[in-house]
Amino acid sequence: MKGLRFLLSRAIQGLIVMFGVSLLVFFALFLTGDPAVLMMAPDSTAQEIAEFREAMGFNDPIIVQYGRFLAGALHGDLGNSLRYSRPAMDLLTERLGATALLALSALLWSSLLGFLLGAIAAVRRNSPIDFAIRVISLLGQAVPVFWLALMLIILFSLNLRWLPSSGYGSFEHLIMPSLALGAYYLSAITRLVRSSLIETLGENYIRTARAKGLTEWRIVVRHALRNAMIPVVTLQGMYLASLMGGALVTEIIFAWPGIGRLAVEAIQNRDFPVVQAVVLFAALVFVVANFLVDVAYTWLNPRIRL
Amino acid sequence: MKHLPAFALGLALALPATVTFAQDDTLVIGRSASTNALDPGFLREAATIVDNIFDTMVMRDEDMNLVPGLATEWTAVDDTTWEFKLREGVVFHNGEPFDAEAVKFSLDRVLDPENKAPTISYIRTIESVEVVDPMTVRIKTTAADPLLPTRMSRYPAYIVPPKYIEEHGRDHFANNPVGTGAYTFVDFVPDERVTLEANPDYWRGTPDIKTVVWRPIPDATARITSLITGEVGLIEDVPVDLVPLLQQTPDADLVQVKNGGLTIYLGLRMDKAPLDNVKVRQALNHAIDRESITTNLLGGLATPKGTQVGAADFGYLDVEVQAYDPELSRQLLAEAGFEDGFEITMQSSFRYMKNAEVAQTIAQQFEDIGLTVNQQTMEWSVYTQTVPFEGPIYMLGWGSTQTLDTDAAVYAIMKSGEPYSGARIPELDALLDKSRSTVDPEAREQILFDIQTLASEQVPLITLYQEDKLMGKAPNVDFEGRADARIPVFDIEMD
């Protein structure tokens, strides 16, 4: 019962967050100026611009425009893209698949490798191999994704000619964007697994397991890793949520037809409805992911309560 | 188990990666921007792709002369009426016949205010379109419009199939276009590709290149890499700083379309002191070392100019480039009563070749004649809303490469009260208006000459230089680029 009340309060908090985001998204864009001028051809007359502004509803009081926006958003209607003349939601959902594919593949390989490297580093703590893994994971987080992406292109496309430099549609197209994007997460997950595992390996029940004469790998895999996973899974949930909002830099460099590229182009062209749709979507994914993590917490660890 | 990371990495690298390189009869073209939709009457972008699917009544050859397209001839019946005779036997890709009704339909739907066409301004002078007989159309203009045939050579004047659009609706048409052009539409995947196939029944003959794929590759380095690796055969928009990449490799060539880009200028707000003073404007004009900017800063990829008008434009006058003479500038400032100079704001953005560096250099040259310059550099979308309302000096690029007429190069940026104009010169306004109501080509050309002569004396704005248009191509692709920035695949050969 207590758990249910906790979840209910988290859900209400999530709704409040979404309302706040909708306010921010709506008003922030209006601070940047008159979209009608930008949308029309440079040699349009003032009258044509005025007519366009009127037709798009930019002349109504801003609070009326917000009300219209909110009512539409609740029905999944965020208006038509100014640039594509198509529903912003359609543009978003069309690109969801590409973004999800990139996000999941990047997170998958970085998680698998991250667990492995983290475990090795924890078990061989303070050994040369631990040191090497720590340096690599530090580098992975320090290197900017655009630099790594360009290096990958130069190596695998320009010099070796193994992989297509950009585009979408086949497994080969996925490799470099996924590597570039996952490098950061690989580092983060490796470090978290390592520190979490080191902490767990110091627990009493591990000592008991050792006393039973189990092999070190068996202890790590069977007993320690499972408990060390809780913070890691939380982290992955958050990473996945942020990745689903689109990987801006990676998608641009590799011409990946995902949400991040849609967002960047919409911002450049001041395509209000699309920007709003992307930001609202990203916020929604975050709130939902947060909520699911809370659910997982109450389920995994009954001690967690507010 | 210990070796697993190395193994996994090795596996990822060793996967059979068969990159599909272009085939002989397929041309892949890399563009910097994504395509939104393919309805040529309602574009919010350059018409590069649709230009291959649709035709206009009037076309331009490689030397930018107007030549017959879907119309075989055209004549001015009177000052406000143009008559076009249409080509017989042309059919749309779906078999629908091309006729006068199609022309009327194509223009009327853009002109209809209900449809809110974004480029209506390009054909705004049209009052009505009349079908005389199935192969003859008369276009009436609201006032004399000498440029009407030119207007019929570019978007939004592409001819579309009326029955097909009425049957399927405009939205369907925008994603499944049908035209009379050299290529038929195959597929359109947003942000990924547009595929076209040769139209075997094209009225100019069957195109050599069988398949064209247009791919948006927003990042310039990735775009150039894909050209060098052979994934694409032609790319648009090569930034100046990446030109060496193309010059160093044997796998790709730089296409330098001399004077194919925008003409960069400094706009001047003349409604306020000190720029209302012609001597001050002249002083600024002589303070800039254009030659040094285009040679040293832009690596010869731009040409200093004395007029906003392009060399291929109708009415072009070869006005001499303003001499760099800081001594004269100081003297002119003194005559204007500004011996000690003055403080002024100059705005610019990041839109053009080395925009920020050029602005910096010009500011320095203004300071050399005694001015104090506050430089403001803004992000483009903010800039377009500021210019030219603030200024008082603002850097912009303007082009006439689509219209190829002096009018397009000067009117909007030199006429008092136009949204993009800071100029206030009554004598110039009178000439600009006169040029728009004179149909006789010779009389009109003289007026256009006068406009440019007057502009070089009165300095309604400071013309700097014209950028080249930079593209890249594979060595086996035969394409030199065009002044109007089009990519007519029909005219491209590959060996």
Handedness of CA A283, A288, A292, A294 (dihedral sign): positive
Which of A98-112, B356-370, B375-389 bottoms out in mean pLDDT, i.e. has the lowest? B375-389
pLDDT score for A227: 77
Q: Is the pLDDT of residue B18 over 60?
A: no
Same domain, B282 and B396: yes
What CA–CA distance (Å, rounded) separates B37 from B112? 20
Q: Nearest CA to CA, how far is B441 from chain A (Å)? A: 24
Rounded Cα gap, residues A302 and A290, in angstroms: 17
Instruction: List, as own/partner pairs, every contact residues A131-140 make where C-beta atoms lie below 8 angstroms and the sequence separation is at least 24, other chains included.
Output: A133/A190, A133/A194, A134/A191, A134/A194, A136/A187, A136/A190, A137/A186, A137/A187, A137/A188, A137/A190, A137/A191, A138/A187, A139/A187, A140/A183, A140/A184, A140/A186, A140/A187, A140/A190
> Could B19 and A150 be called an inter-chain contact, meaning their C-beta atoms sit closer than 8 Å?
no
How many CA within 13 A on the CB side of residue A163?
Answer: 29
Q: What is the pLDDT of residues B164-188, one digit of tens each?
A: 999 999 989 999 999 999 999 999 9
- CA–CA separation, B178 vs B183, rounded Å? 10
Q: Is residue B175, in this structure, part of any structural domain at all?
A: no
Residue A252 has its nearest CB partner, among B219, B385, B412, at B219
CB-nearest to A253 from B2, B190, B222 is B222
Query: What phi and psi values does residue A297 have, to the nearest 5 degrees?
Result: -60, -50
In degrees rounded to 5, what are phi and psi of residue B177? Answer: -70, 145
> What letter represents residue A72's amino acid?
G
Min Cα distance B297 → chain A (Å) is 26
For the domain spanning A93-304, the CATH number is 1.10.3720.10
Mean pLDDT of B483-491: 90
CB atoms within 10 A of CB B108: 15
B86: tokens are 């249409």
pLDDT, tens only, B215-243: 999 989 899 999 999 999 999 989 888 89
Q: Are residues B349 and B463 in the same domain?
A: yes
Q: What is the pLDDT of residue A84?
A: 78
Nearest CA of chain B to the CA of A241: how many Å? Answer: 23
In this structure, the number of other CB atoms found within 10 A of the CB of residue A117 comes to 26
How far is it, in rounded angstroms, from Cα A223 to Cα A217? 10
Q: Which residues contact B44 (CB under 8 A, 6 or more apart)?
A: A39, A83, B36, B118
pLDDT band at B464; cut points 50, 70, 90: very high
Does the residue B41 lie in any domain?
no
Contact A91 B190 (CB under 8 A): yes
A175 interaction partners in chain B (CB closer than 8 Å): 12, 15, 17
Judge if B103 and B197 occupy the same domain: no
A69 neighbors A30 (Cβ within 8 angstroms): no
Contact B22, B451 (CB under 8 A): no
Statement: residue B5 has pLDDT above 90: no
Q: Say yes or no to pLDDT of B35 above 90.
A: no
B468 and B300 Cβ atoms separated by less than 8 Å: no
Confidence of residue B9 (pLDDT cuts 50, 70, 90): very low
B351 and B457 share one domain: yes
Nearest CA in chain B to A167: B192
Q: Are B81 and B186 found together in one domain? A: no
Strands (E), B296-392: 302-304, 343-348, 372-377
Q: Does B269 share its domain with B230?
A: no
- Residue B291 is predicted with a pLDDT of 96
Q: Same domain, yes or no, for B287 and B252?
A: no
| B303 and B440 assigned to the same domain | yes
Q: What phi, psi does B133 have (nearest 5°)?
A: -150, 175
Q: What's the whole-number average pLDDT of chain B? A: 89
**B134 located within any domain:** yes
The tally of domains found in chain B comes to 3
**Judgement on whether residues B296 and B410 belong to the same structural domain of the protein:** yes
Read off the pLDDT of residues B385-406 as tens digits, 9 standing for 90 and up. 665 567 799 999 888 777 788 9
Radius of gyration of chain A (CA): 24
Q: Please give the pLDDT value at position A37.
A: 67
Q: Give all strands (DSSP E) within B448-494, no chain letters.
A: 461-467, 469-473, 477-478, 493-494
Q: CB–CB of B237/B223 below 8 Å?
A: yes
pLDDT of the residue at A174: 94
The pLDDT value recorded for residue A32 is 61
Over 70: is that where the pLDDT of B251 sits?
yes
Q: Is B226 part of a structural domain of the chain?
A: yes
Q: CATH number, domain at B228?
A: 3.40.190.10
Query: Is residue B14 very low, low, confident or very high in pLDDT (cuts 50, 70, 90)?
Result: very low
B277 & B249 share domain: no
Q: What is the pLDDT of residue A301?
A: 65
Which is more confidently placed, B279 or A52? B279
**Which of the pair, A9 or B373, is modelled with greater confidence?**
B373
What is the widest separation between alpha-carbon atoms in chain B? 88
**A167 and B18 in contact by Cβ < 8 A?**
no
Which among B20, B37, B229 is the nearest to A158, CB-wise? Answer: B229
Q: What per-residue confidence (pLDDT) applies to B336?
A: 94
| Helix runs in B169-277, H state only | 170-175, 220-228, 243-248
B171 part of a folded domain: no
**B43, B225, B407: best mutation site toward chain A, by most A Cβ within 10 Å?**
B225
Crossing angle of the two packed helices B406-414 and B426-437, in degrees rounded to 10: 140
Domain residue spans in chain A?
1-89, 93-304
Residues of chain A with pLDDT under 50: 306
Helix axes A225-244, A171-201, angle to 10 degrees: 140
Rounded to an integer, the average pLDDT of B335-352 is 91
Burial of A301 (0-12, 13-18, 19+ CB in 10 A): exposed
**pLDDT reading at B161 higher than 60:** yes
- Contact, B84 vs B130, CB < 8 A? no
B173 touches B164 (CB < 8 A): yes
Pick from B195, B202, B213: which is nearest to B179 by CA? B202
Q: What is the pLDDT of residue B21?
A: 47
pLDDT at B121 over 90: no
Best to test chain B binding among A99, A156, A158 (most B CBs inside 10 Å)? A158
pLDDT average, residue stretch B445-458? 96
Task: Tell me chain B's radius of gyration from C-alpha atoms.
Answer: 25
User: Residues B447, B329: one domain?
Assistant: yes
Nearest one of A134, A122, A135 to A227, comparing CA atoms: A122
Identify whether B53 is part of a domain. no
The model's pTM: 0.81
Closest CA to A40 of A27, A65, A58, A23: A58
Q: Is residue B11 part of a domain?
A: yes
- Cβ neighbours of B118 in A, within 8 Å: 39-41
Closest CB to A38: pick one of B218, B385, B419: B385
More confident residue, B117 or A13: A13
Using DSSP bridges, classify how beta strands B469-473 and B253-257 pair: parallel, antiparallel or unpaired: antiparallel
The answer to whether position B38 is within a domain reads: no
- Boundary-marking domain end, from B137, B166, B195: B166
A164:B225 CB<8 A: no
Domain containing B249: what range?
4-32+182-258+469-494
Averaged pLDDT for residues B103-117 = 90
Give A10's DSSP letter.
H
B62 and B149 inside one domain? yes
